[in-house]
Amino acid sequence: MSYVDRIIQQVEEKDGDEPEFLQCVKEVLNSLRPVVESDEKYEKAGILERLVEPEKSVVFRVPWVDDQGRVRVNRGYRIQFSSSIGPYKGGLRFQPNVNSSVIKFLGFEQIFKNSLTGMPIGGGKGGADFDPKGKSEAEIMRFCQSYMTELFRYIGPDTDCPAGDMGVGAREIGYMYGQYKRICGSYKAGALSGKGLSYGGSIGRMEATGYGAVYFTQEYFKTIGRQIKDTVFAVSGFGNVAWGVVKKIDELGGKVVTLSGPDGYIYDPDGVTGEKIDYMLEMRTSNKDCVKDYAKKFHAEFYPGEKPWGKVKADVYMPCATQNEIHEEDAKRILEEGHSRILIEVANMPTTQEAMDLLMEKGVTVLPSKAVNAGGVAVSSLEMVQNAEHLSWKKEEVDERLHDIMKDIFCNIDKAAKKYGCPGNYVAGANLAGFEKVADAMLCQGIC
Ligand code: GLU
């Protein structure tokens, strides 16, 4: 049995009850075959068996009191997956469907994503099965404070630096940082990123994931002679990531015609522009978690319970909502509709393996999320640098660095795909390029 097959089998046996984690381990490991099976040093050093096992993971109780005085308890997580190339780095997700499988898949992805940024950051992820939907401001604050009261002992500027993810934005980071500072008794700004601009946050962090995804798209477009301004995009989601994507596409003259939420999708053939973009932020902070209101306010079409894949005419599909939102039947519909041949993943692992295999087999170009959405964590890392320097950089400086990072990522994954004999397979290219640096660091540092 080959090295890769042996490790996949081992993960199936040990963690077979964690479907999301297993899915992403299989995707990554299968594409690493050309490198790990070409030189026995990887197997000798146990690189893969060490990579699939988090260095440390904590699960903890998060008790809090709701506005009615009732005691509530949620489950908190922090997985510190790999510190081979730097302190653990990765977001916190507050969502009812958070469990150890989801956090482990996100943490595993983060190892390779963070490596691709070229910044010295390891991989980690955390969160809680807390549902922000319908919660009052005071409840959110109490929850964040309680969460940090346990998390604080595991994080720090040189240890682990969490940030936001779904359900965690600037507001939640603010409450968590306040509590962290209070417990520590000192101002360690680099212990959390995504902070507000008045207390150590980086300008441009909020837009970074979305802007980075569009800069990345521009690099790919150069190879096929396309421009953002002549392109129609179908986007899913309506949160922070989708907002940044829509804002940058609009600025560059392109058109976004869909947004989605758990309640369905909206189709706005005139394009999401101007005040409609600002309204996306209002929808996010309202904690209602739906997009129907957009359709009402701006006279757009609303399709309850549906997703836009293959249902609207667009040149490019850009899933920005959540994992596994494009299933095999969506892929079939995309192929039948026949207009779009480009899938740009912005949410983490938005495509199921079956859908991905089908699309790639039929020649659809897939740009993988761990490369496309790396701009968010890249600017988080720039925030850590600014905090260590006790400085704040100007908008132009952050934006220029983000732009350069995204260009380099595209160039590196393209090169890796060519080097290992799969040109144009950006999914494999991203895994291979991300892996090379981490594996090299692991080989240098001995068995640890
Ligand atoms: N949650 C984001 C991601 O998936 C950002 C993490 C960070 O900024 O640390 O990469």
* Nearest in space to 146 (alpha carbons), one of 76, 227, 210, 82: 76
Ligand 1 mean position, distance from CA 20 (Å): 18
Q: Is the pTM of this model over 0.95?
A: yes
Please report, for residues 69, 83, 106, 329, 394, the alpha-carbon distance to residue 114 in angstroms, rounded to integers and kept in the order given. Answer: 41, 11, 12, 32, 23
- The answer to whether 241 and 376 are in contact (CB under 8 A) is yes
Q: 62: which strand partners?
A: 74
pLDDT in tens, 261-283: 999 999 999 999 999 999 999 99
Output the pLDDT for position 124.
Answer: 98
Contact 317, 340 (CB under 8 A): yes
pLDDT one digit per residue (tens) for the chain, 448 residues = 999 999 999 999 999 999 999 999 999 999 999 999 999 999 999 999 999 999 999 999 999 999 999 999 999 999 999 999 999 999 999 999 999 999 999 999 999 999 999 999 999 999 999 999 999 999 999 999 999 999 999 999 999 999 999 999 999 999 999 999 999 999 999 999 999 999 999 999 999 999 999 999 999 999 999 999 999 999 999 999 999 999 999 999 999 999 999 999 999 999 999 999 999 999 988 888 999 999 999 999 999 999 999 999 999 999 999 999 999 999 999 999 998 899 999 999 999 999 999 999 999 999 999 999 999 999 999 999 999 999 999 999 999 999 999 999 999 999 999 999 999 999 999 999 999 999 999 999 999 9
Give the residue from 429, 408, 424 showing the smallest Cα distance to 219.
408
CB 280 within 8 A of CB 242: yes
With a 6 A CB cut-off, is 348 part of the ligand 1 pocket?
A: yes
Tell me how far the alpha carbon of residue 194 lies from the centroid of ligand 1, in angstroms: 9
| 3 state SS of 304 | strand
Confidence (pLDDT) at 100: 98
The minimum-distance atom of ligand 1 relative to the CA of 165 is 1
The pLDDT assigned to 131 comes to 96
The pLDDT value given to residue 284? 86
Of ligand 1's listed atoms, the one at least distance from the Cα of 194 is: 8
Q: Answer yes or no: is the C-beta of 193 below 6 A from any ligand 1 atom.
A: yes
- Distance of alpha carbon 87 from its chain centroid, rounded? 18
Cα–Cα dist 340/115, whole Å: 30
322 lines ligand 1 (CB under 6 A): no
* pLDDT score of 340: 87
Give distance in angstroms: CA of 225 to centre of ligand 1. 31
User: To which residue do tokens 């653990």 refer?
Assistant: 88
Which of 89, 92, 95, 110 best tests ligand 1's pocket when mutated (most atoms within 8 Å of CB)? 110
For atom 10 of ligand 1, the residue with the nearest CA is 377
DSSP strand E in 345-432: where? 365-367
Distance CA 378, CA 399 (A): 11
Q: How far is the CA of 242 from the centre of ligand 1 (A)?
A: 14
Q: What percent of the chain has pLDDT over 90?
A: 98
Q: Is residue 109 lining ligand 1, measured as CB closer than 6 Å?
A: no
Q: Which of 112, 207, 209, 372 to mutate to test the pocket of ligand 1 (most atoms within 8 A of CB)?
A: 209
Q: Look-up: residue for tokens 């890769």?
A: 4
Residue 90 C-alpha to ligand 1 middle, in angstroms? 5
Distance of CA 11 to the CA centre of its chain: 23
Q: Rounded CA gap, 343 and 351, in Å?
A: 10
Closest-lying ligand 1 atom to the alpha carbon of residue 121: 9
Position 286 scores a pLDDT of: 85
Q: Which of 377, 387, 402 to mutate to test the pocket of ligand 1 (most atoms within 8 A of CB)?
A: 377
Would you please indicate which residues are annotated as catalytic (active-site) residues?
A: 125
What distances in angstroms separate CA 224 from CA 218, 221, 330, one per listed residue?
Answer: 10, 5, 25
Give the distance (Å) from ligand 1 centre to CA of residue 72: 27
Q: Does ligand 1 come within 6 angstroms of the Cβ of 376?
A: yes
Tally of CB atoms within 10 A around 337? 14
Coarse DSSP helix, strand, coil percentages of the chain, rounded to the nearest 5 percent: 50, 15, 30
Q: Yes or no: say if 338 and 364 are a contact pair by the CB < 8 Å rule.
A: no
> Would you put residue 11 in left (φ > 0), alpha (ψ -120 to 50) or beta?
alpha
Cα separation, 408 vs 55, whole angstroms: 29
Residue 127 beta carbon below 6 angstroms from any ligand 1 atom = no
9 in Cβ contact with 20 (< 8 Å): no
